[in-house]
Structure 1
Amino acid sequence: MRRIAVIGCGGSGKTRLARRLGALLDVPVIHLDAVYYDSAWNALPQEKFAALQEELVAAPAWVIDGNYASTLPIRLKAADTVVFLDLPWWTCLWGIAQRQWRHDAGQHDQGVYNRITWGFVRYVLGYRRRMRPRVERLLAEHARGADVVVLRGRRAVRRFLTQVARATRAHA
């Protein structure tokens, strides 16, 4: 595991998982929200965002967290491991609420943004019905060379991290 794409619904814990994997594996962590948005929530043009990702995935090791389905194939083709956090909407909404309490609105550490709108809440509520099928198609189409790990709950995430930690210690 040297090139890891972490994907999933907002509030699923992508950023926390990415940070933990980066620390365990000693690889750089990239948060796509920090790449895509500036401090005033202005988005990069799509072409520039895609070009930046092409540069990022050319590195020998990385953990990249974020969805951005339009550019997901770039990461899926380059990844050796994809972790899909496929958590229920209520777990994701709880994760968003916790993040809001921890960081309040706005930017928190490492350039990750905490911006909650009704549109975002609707996106979370409909993620499994609307986005998951699209993500599954993209995984089948573009992640053929990668190990795909689907985690469906917080307990599964903790077990996965424990397995990675054990494997890392065994290889040290």
Structure 2
Amino acid sequence: MRRVVILGRGGAGKSALARRLAAATGLPLTELDELFWSADATPLPRDRWAAIQDELVAAETWILDGDLGPFDVLEPRLRAADTIIVLDFPLGVCLWRALRRSRESLVFWRWVICYRRRSLPGILAGISRCASADQYLLRHPREVERFLDEQR
């Protein structure tokens, strides 16, 4: 495990998993939200976002944490990854965590609520089409704990 992509709906715990995995493995972590969203919550243009990811994946080791929903361009990081982790937690868990975390936009809430129907099929198809990586579909926080235990 040297190049890790972590995906999942808002509130699933992607960033928490990424931080713990970085601590356990020593891999450098990049939180994609910090690079993608401007101060006024405007997304980057798709071509610029793809170019930034091409730069990120050129490094030998990394953890890229983030799922930018309908704004994302997944292919650059899926092609470069050797490990892909998708967090597919129940909606209630994600809603509760997201509500506790911060105020979010209507676009965010629609994405969270419709994730399994609208986003997840495209993510899984992209993984199937672009990636030759170890894949983990974790559906519950207990599965994340087991995964992390295996990495130690």
Among 74, 91, 94, the residue aligned to 2:93: 91
Q: Which residue of 1 aligns with 2:30?
A: 30
Instruction: Decide which moves more: 35-44 or 120-129.
Output: 35-44
How far residue 48 of structure 1 moved from its aligned partner, in angstroms, is 1.5
Aligned AA for 1:22? A
Distance 2:121 2:43 in 1: 25
Q: Does residue 14 of structure 1 match 2:14?
A: yes
Aligned AA for 1:90? G
Q: Does residue 130 of structure 1 match 2:130?
A: no
* Structure 2 stretches lacking a partner, 5+ long: none
- What TM-score, normalized by structure 2, do the two folds share? 0.92
Q: Hey, which bits of structure 1, 4+ residues long, moved more than 4 A?
A: none
Asked if structure 2 preserves the Cα contact closer than 8 Å seen for 1:29 and 1:63, the reply is: yes
Distance 1:59 1:118 in 2: 35
Asked if structure 2 preserves the Cα contact closer than 8 Å seen for 1:88 and 1:128, the reply is: no
**Number of equivalences:** 150
Distance 1:71 1:118 in 2: 21
- What TM-score, normalized by structure 1, do the two folds share? 0.82
Structure with higher Rg: it is 1
Q: Does residue 39 of structure 1 match 2:26?
A: no
Q: Does residue 58 of structure 1 match 2:58?
A: yes
Q: Which residue of 1 aligns with 2:147?
A: 160
Distance 1:41 1:134 in 2: 24
